[in-house]
Amino acid sequence: MKKSKTMAVIIGGMVFDIHATASIPAIAKTTTPGKVEFMLGGVARNIAECLLKLGTESFMISALGCDLAGDLLLEQWRSAGLPTEGIQRGPDITTASVCNMFDVNGDLTSGVASVESIERCVTPQWIQQFKSIVHSAPLMMVDANLNTDALEASCRMAAAFDVPVWVEPVSVAKSKRVAAIANYITFASPNEHELVAMANSLSNENRFSPIQRDQNKTSVESLFKELKPAIIVLLQKGIKYVLVTLGPDGAFLCSGSGPSGLRECLKSTKVFNGKRQIFDMVNSRCSTHQYLYPTPYKGGSRLFAMHFPALPAAVGRVSGAGDCLVGGVLASLCAGLDVMQSVAVGVSAAKVAIEVKTNVPDIYNLTAIADDAGAVYKAAKVVFQESML
């Protein structure tokens, strides 16, 4: 690896996935006919692969066992031309694995995760070895598969070098780990259930409950009204941007600094100086002049939220959609696009992921991504702007 190369830093899970999809409605306490597939996964790994497919290289910090699953994951990484120095291996490490169960519609119904090796082996001491890589990174993404000490060490290191931090909560249970690092986080990307868990953890009480959706489609405005109190907790605890992923309902992008925050780029840090194709293509379709706002609010913290609609998609499997949404946003930020433009690209990348059976599509057509991002960007709308006081 050339030490002068600037790369995003991705820290978290590289996982061997087992996907079991039922071909008929499942019956409890017996086997169900279906299809079992093996594929490469892990939240951090999926995001890093998506970044690569969109033109941004990354430096992965993770752990793999000296077993068949670990060999497959490492070989794929090497074949992509990505550095492997940050991937710890050893005979006492068992490669993380996850078994996901899907129904006949391709929706996740349950899963079992065995990722203890990530928590045990990706330690503050291991991460500290790559300080020079973090120093030059345009941003860092950490997933909550890490233990609390490793999360804190990663975030403190990033803060020392003024590197923005993106945190992916991974699951409801693991999202609670974010409480220890909230004041370091630039971006967090929970789904609505993870959002509730994070807000409860940050407020040290169970004030919030998961939304009970009825059969009728909930309006975007009503959905935001229900989620708003939890979103405010995250913003008041120091998280700069909260991107709430809503599956087929799109995503809410929320800032505690008013609308001007959504026009920010990574220009103040180390913008990726490699391929600029995605920047040029998206910037021409997502005009920064489309959204004009009044003079910034002067009275204190201001919650500003926009809704980005999901794109119609023929569902293949939804397991990698959220990871690819994050990957699309990160790749765009690294290319120099602003936050709003980047979220539009993320929604576009998620659409492609939904339509394939693998966690990450084999290829992204950048023209199609940019066209779809333009459509999402134009359809985005403000759902809330008001003081949080």
pTM: 0.91
Query: Which alpha helices (H) appear in 167-219, and where do they start and end?
Result: 172-175, 192-203
Class of domain 8-27+34-387: alpha beta
Region at 278 (left for phi over 0; alpha for psi -120 to 50; beta for the rest): alpha
Q: What is the pLDDT of residues 10-39, one digit of tens each?
A: 999 999 999 899 999 988 899 999 999 999
279 token code pair: 């920047």
Q: What is the pLDDT of residues 299-356, one digit of tens each?
A: 557 899 999 999 998 876 777 899 999 999 999 999 999 999 999 999 999 999 999 8
Q: Where are the domains of the chain?
A: 8-27+34-387
- pLDDT of amino acid 313: 84
Backbone phi, psi, residue 55, to 5°: 100, 10
Q: What is the pLDDT of residues 118-158, one digit of tens each?
A: 999 999 999 999 999 999 999 999 999 999 999 999 999 99
Instruction: Report helix angle 192-203 to 220-236, nearest 10.
Output: 40
